[in-house]
Structure 1
Amino acid sequence: MRNDQATELAHTAWPDVPPDALVLLPIGSTEQHGPHLPLDTDSVIAEAVARRAATALPAALVAPTLPYGASGEHAGFPGTVSIGHEALCAVLVESVRSLSLWAGRIVLVNGHGGNTATLDTALRMLRTEGHDVAWTGCAVPGGDAHAGRTETSVMLHLAPEQARLEVAVAGDTRPLAALLPELMAHGVRAVSPSGVLGDPTGASTAEGRRATDAMVSAAVRRITAWTVDHRGRLAEPEHPPMSKELDQQVIRP
């Protein structure tokens, strides 16, 4: 059954928390996203995906977004706040241990690629302890790496007042695989002085809506199927369980 609004944990009184609730915890970051996007871009996207997915999932609660992640590669830019791998891992582990005292299943909805290794480490530990937890990302197949056309389009859809196209510039447009060795060794600034990995040119609200719809639909498919790999990631089901009616509900803005 679909709700018109996601139920937010922060705004819920304890007697109203459903038994064995499904909790979606958005994981974001506070890091540079070029000269044209805000520092909370990853958090905005993760929260939007979690909230919209929750409207199509029974007894789902959206926990407050975790706004800090492992963003050391962006440390060369003012405004970035990174808590690093060890601290993030500890926060994730203790958060899930606490949630597990009353929640049913827990899904971490991740908006920042730099958090991936930490999520894998934390989820392996938590699942070994017996917690019913998994994580899923907010990626768009074929999208550029960072603050390019894909993310800019999504932000034009979700928070248009925060996307400043008039100061957008193209960054290094090579595939992420080609950039990674230098990026990991010297940080993003060594690869792209603007902080952009990709090209925002051509970004549009319509493209951002399509990308957001795709991320939300993927999250609902994965959560509904609940196929978890050895790293704790939710996999795409071989036969998506969503009906056409449910899919239409998920992508409604």
Structure 2
Amino acid sequence: MAGTGDGDLAGAAWPDVAAAPLVLVPLGSTEQHGPHLPLSTDTVIARAVAERVADVLRAQAGGQVLVAPAIAYGASGEHAGFPGTISIGHEALHAVIVETARSLAAWAGRVVLVNGHGGNVATLDAAAGRLRREGHDAAWTGCGIPGGDAHAGFAETSVMLYLAPGLVRPFGAVTGETRPLDVIMPELVARGVRAVSPSGVLGDPAGASGERGREIVDAVVASAVLRIGGARVDERGRLLDPGTPSPKARA
């Protein structure tokens, strides 16, 4: 754990767990991230964001905030053309999320999934919505980078240079598909990432730096802290940004 070191659920014994803690569950993937980033990139980022969010929330409000072991497999079918990718698909991921949160509900106060992979979003919406209809205090938030490129480009490469520089391979000669995502999305959906970008990169890692990665992580953490602290959730289980109208207000 970064910071205080007292929120790692995997390293705790059962008497260490207080009554009704907030539990953050990192959700990532095991999928290709170009020739320069590890298959664990989304999981590394989700875990790091969850750890830093837990430290901030613990310092702000007190009480126990735990970070559960990361769920390292997601819905990554679009990356199936690359060796190393492991995708469990939407149906299996839905079951994992639902059963994880149901189990946590026996002793946790709130459960928040911290998602690091865009391909998991549809499943999270369905699973978190179901959990809330069942009466569980479960929700999710993402690690999205506003304005960032789509996959294994400048943003993710910078973040990994900050979080795990030893896992980043040379990327000076790496090329990616730099057309806007909305332009290439039909082909991505129909044929997968490899048909659009042989390197697996959607974006351009050129110029990435650990310093920029630190700035990105700080911004993502600050945003997640505000959403989790605000505890306002829509019908899909998504935590809302401050100032966003509530679902009732929109209806």
Report the TM range for the smaller structure's normalisation: over 0.9
Q: Give the aligned partner of residue 28 of structure 2.
A: 28
**For residues 218-249 of structure 1, what are the alpha-carbon distances to aligned partners after superposition, in whole Å with 9 as ceiling and x for unaligned?**
1111000011012110111129xxxxxxxxxx
Contact 1:6/1:51, CA 8 A, preserved across alignment? no
User: Identity rate of aligned residues, in percent?
Assistant: 66
For residues 31 and 3 of structure 1, do their structure 2 counterparts lie closer, same or farther at Cα, with a shift above 3 Å needed? Answer: closer
**Take 2:175 and 2:150, find their aligned partners in 1: how far apart are those partners?**
12
**Take 2:6 and 2:213, find their aligned partners in 1: how far apart are those partners?**
21
**Take 1:232 and 1:168, find their aligned partners in 2: how far apart are those partners?**
41
**Take 2:132 and 2:146, find their aligned partners in 1: how far apart are those partners?**
27
Q: Give the aligned partner of residue 11 of structure 2.
A: 11
- Alignment pair present for 1:152 and 2:161: no
When structure 1 is superposed on structure 2, of 204-213 and 50-59 the one drifting more is 50-59
Map 1:220-235 onto structure 2 (within 5 A). Answer: 220-235=225-240
Contact 1:6/1:62, CA 8 A, preserved across alignment? no
Task: Please report the RMSD computed on the Cα atoms of aligned residues, expressed in angstroms.
Answer: 1.4
For residues 138 and 168 of structure 1, do their structure 2 counterparts lie closer, same or farther at Cα, with a shift above 3 Å needed? Answer: farther
**Take 1:67 and 1:29, find their aligned partners in 2: how far apart are those partners?**
5
Q: Give the aligned partner of residue 193 of structure 2.
A: 188
**Take 1:192 and 1:117, find their aligned partners in 2: how far apart are those partners?**
23
Map 1:28-177 onto structure 2 (within 5 A). Answer: 28-58=28-58, 59-166=64-171, 168-177=173-182
Contact 2:151/2:202, CA 8 A, preserved across alignment? yes
Give the SS at the match of 1:181: helix
**Take 1:130 and 1:174, find their aligned partners in 2: how far apart are those partners?**
43
Which residue identity does 1:19 align to in structure 2? A
Q: Give the aligned partner of residue 248 of structure 2.
A: none
Contact 2:159/2:213, CA 8 A, preserved across alignment? yes
Runs of 4+ in 1 over 6 A off after TM superposition: none
Which residue identity does 1:148 align to in structure 2? G
**For residues 122-177 of structure 1, what are the alpha-carbon distances to aligned partners after superposition, in whole Å with 9 as ceiling and x for unaligned?**
01110000000110000111000000000000000000011112465121111212
Give the SS at the match of 1:23: strand
TM-score calculated relative to the size of structure 2: 0.92
Contact 1:35/1:168, CA 8 A, preserved across alignment? no
**Take 2:113 and 2:206, find their aligned partners in 1: how far apart are those partners?**
31
Which residue identity does 2:120 align to in structure 1? N
Q: Which runs of 5+ in 2 are unaligned?
A: 59-63, 245-251
Q: Give the aligned partner of residue 244 of structure 1.
A: none
Which residue identity does 1:61 align to in structure 2? L
**For residues 64-122 of structure 1, what are the alpha-carbon distances to aligned partners after superposition, in whole Å with 9 as ceiling and x for unaligned?**
00000000000000000000000000000000000000000000000000000000010
**Take 2:102 and 2:37, find their aligned partners in 1: how far apart are those partners?**
34
Contact 2:172/2:206, CA 8 A, preserved across alignment? no
**For residues 182-237 of structure 1, what are the alpha-carbon distances to aligned partners after superposition, in whole Å with 9 as ceiling and x for unaligned?**
10110000000000000000101111000000111111110000110121101111
Give the SS at the match of 1:229: coil
